[in-house]
Amino acid sequence: MSLTDYQASDQPALRQLALDAFEQYKDKYQPWEEFQAKVAGWTSLSQSAQLIIAKEGGVAIGAVAFVPPFSTPKGHFPPDWAAIRMLVVHPAHRGKGVGKKLTQECINRAQAAGCATIGLHTSPVMEVALGMYLKMGFTWDADIAPISGVPYAVYRLELPKT
């Protein structure tokens, strides 16, 4: 597995990857069609974030958006935090460390940028992802408004000073 940075030509594959990754939650997010449209458009984050793609044999199997500190829009995060957004892993590649590798790459980029904190938001319905984040040292910071009817919270990881 290799990590690469997003190119515009990756957009169709990442759109489908995100749709495939979120399909398991179609009974949770309502209205599903509206939420699906937001998921499909996630590569628009490339305007303020660095999209990182995990590829195997040249095929995208996972991706994430790393939002550097002081980027806009920050949403649920203080401006001096880095943030992780839209971590997606294709269902056929789960359990192979793809999500952890992508998350660690975001942490590495936050440290290289001199950040003291990196944040993310996730939901308890994403049991595997939440468990991974907690094992990596993220802690609950605050509950936020539900997204399409699903509860969410912000989690943070304090980074060692370099």
* Chain centroid offset of residue 144 CA: 16
Give percent of the chain with pLDDT exceeding 90: 93
Residue 71: pLDDT band (50, 70, 90) is confident
pLDDT computed for residue 162 by the predictor: 63
> Looking at residue 68, which CATH number applies to its domain?
3.40.630.30
Average pLDDT, stretch 151-156? 97
With 70 as the cut, is the pLDDT of residue 74 above it? Answer: no
Average pLDDT, stretch 82-95? 95
Q: How do residues 22-33 score in pLDDT, each as one tens digit? A: 999 999 999 999
The domain tally of the chain equals: 1
With 90 as the cut, is the pLDDT of residue 72 above it? Answer: no
**Residues 86 and 114: beta-carbon distance below 8 Å:** no
Residues 6+ apart with CB under 8 A from 122: 129, 130, 133, 152, 153, 155
Name which of 114, 104, 88, 79 is nearest 23 in CA terms.
88
pTM of structure: 0.94
Residue 75: pLDDT band (50, 70, 90) is confident
pLDDT computed for residue 65 by the predictor: 96
- Look over the chain and give the mean of its residue pLDDT values, rounded to a whole number: 94
Q: Which domain holds residue 74?
A: 2-158
